[in-house]
A and B are shown apart, each in its own frame.
Chain A
Amino acid sequence: MFKSMVEAFKNLFKPVRTINYPAQEIILPSGYRGLIEYDKEACIFCDKCEKVCPPGAILFYQHEEGEKEYRYNPWLCIYCGECVRACPKPQEAIWQSETKQQSAVKEDGANEGWFVWEEACKKSREAYAAAKKERKPKMKSEEPLCVS
């Protein structure tokens, strides 16, 4: 009884083991798996990162002129790093940073906004593929004309 009281008294002066977040910052270990970052200049648009991503957090929007635009949902991403491992130019075109993603608020449109994008990307692809198809037969029909 006496012993446990002494112990309890001593514990009063021991440092606390919890972190007083958010007043005190949580120190992340180096190598923390954070957000995916991307560089358009180095990318060769092979779409490999889009294909391997398990939750589908990377999408490429297809512009009509043939250009592709990278779109990334930091809240959908599970930070697995598969995209970086799949990329033919890892660390140059796409890499994993140590930044922690903050929680989304409604204005970010983490869900609704992304659904719109997903739909838009899909449509842009389809439209582009259809346009390509249309162009091809035309070129073929032009060929005989040239010969004659």
Chain B
Amino acid sequence: MKKTIQIPLGSQHISLLEPIRFKFECENEKIIGVDADVGFVHRGVELACTRSFEFKQVGYVVARVCGLCAITHSLSYTLAVEKLLGYVANDRIKYLRMLMVELDRIHSHMLCLAHTAENAGFEALFMQIMGDRELVMEVQEAISGNRVQFDYISIGGVNRDLTSELVDLVRKNLTTLSEKMEILTGLFDNNWSLSLKYKGVGVLTLEDAYTYNALGPLARASGLATDVRAETSDFPYEALGYTMMLESTGDIHARNFVRLREIVNSIAICRNIVDNLPMGEIQEKVKGKPKGEEIVRIEAPRGELFYLVRGNGTNTLERVRIKTPTFSGIPAMMEVFKGSQYADAPAILASFDPCMSCTAK
């Protein structure tokens, strides 16, 4: 029998942003087995949604599940309840909701890219990307009135309208950002530490991606064509210039490039939205109480976000189930670790862009 050693990573580790624990079974430097534990920041959000809050308030509660994709959570929940109530939003509401979700995707992807840069020992680029990310945060703050907790979506519409000054701000900042993105893409492609170091590291093959049900940018980097935006028809993504970004190598480099290209695509979608914003009410009255069961899938920055909402015709819901992208992606992530070097583990983990607060909720 060969001798192996166990090395833990986390739950507190200098390269980890959020508490997660991996137990690596190592043979010399090589990882041969992984065990993951994610429940360090459990807050009982699901139970709170069905005990302490009424269904109209839950949208604000689930937004607190995650700081990065707050808008996706509130959108998924709102959409589920609206379906239960038999309400379909008008085009203006749909467009405004999409705009916020895409802006959110841009800044979330930028955060992940910044962390991968940091994990390659490129601290200056981390600062630079985080600085450029402010362009998007600024727009989101101006639209919704707050930097992180947007509280923008409510049942029956959105809470604020897009004025012409805001449209100008969106256009201006996105133009600046797309120039910066070009420089950034060049850097990620040509820079030694970012490109050579990350090519061939942390590979997830297409077959494994399929078997272990990878999702989001992780799957698309391996060439698995899965994206909720293309699979559902809740929002007119196709009409607004959405294209699926696929890479084939499945390594960290490919994941970075999926994210970079998705940012560029999201910028284009946002521009199309503000250029073609239809007229209409931004808030409509929705009557009734949710009865029955409904599921909703939305593409969050990290992959598919799943919501199940069950109501019994009263003000309090019976069940809210949240399945977050990181949670669904864990089997695929564990597979990637197997066979790679222990020293690469933090960089590989950062390239998954895991969100533990989401996962443990």
Chain A residues near B (Cβ < 8 Å): 17, 29-33, 52-54, 78-82, 85
Contacts and interface: CB of A to CB of B under 8 A. Distances in A.
23 contacts: A17-B134, A29-B138, A32-B141, A32-B146, A33-B145, A33-B146, A33-B151, A52-B56, A54-B60, A54-B61, A78-B60, A78-B151, A79-B145, A79-B146, A79-B151, A80-B60, A80-B151, A80-B159, A81-B151, A81-B159, A82-B60, A85-B159, A85-B283
Interface residues of B, number: 19
A52 B131 contact: no
Interface of B: 53, 56-57, 60-61, 131, 134, 138, 141-142, 144-146, 149, 151, 154, 159-160, 283
A17 B154 CA distance: 35
Nearest to A33: B145
A33 B152 CA distance: 11
B149 A78 contact: yes
Contacts of A85: 154, 159, 283
A-B interface, 9 closest residue pairs, ranked by CB to CB distance from nearest: A33-B145, A54-B57, A29-B142, A80-B151, A54-B60, A17-B131, A33-B146, A31-B145, A80-B60
The A contact surface, by secondary structure, is: loop
Contacts of B144: 33
A52 B57 contact: yes
B269 to A, nearest CB: 23
Contacts of B131: 17
A85 B131 CA distance: 35
Nearest to A18: B131
Contacts of A17: 131, 134
B127 to A, nearest CB: 8
A19 B354 CA distance: 29
Given A78-B60, A80-B151, 19 more contacts: A29-B142, A31-B142, A31-B145, A31-B160, A32-B141, A32-B145, A32-B146, A33-B144, A33-B151, A52-B57, A54-B60, A78-B149, A80-B60, A80-B159, A81-B145, A81-B151, A82-B60, A85-B154, A85-B159
Most buried by A among B60, B138, B283: B60
Contacts of B160: 31
Nearest to A80: B151
Contacts of A78: 60, 149, 151
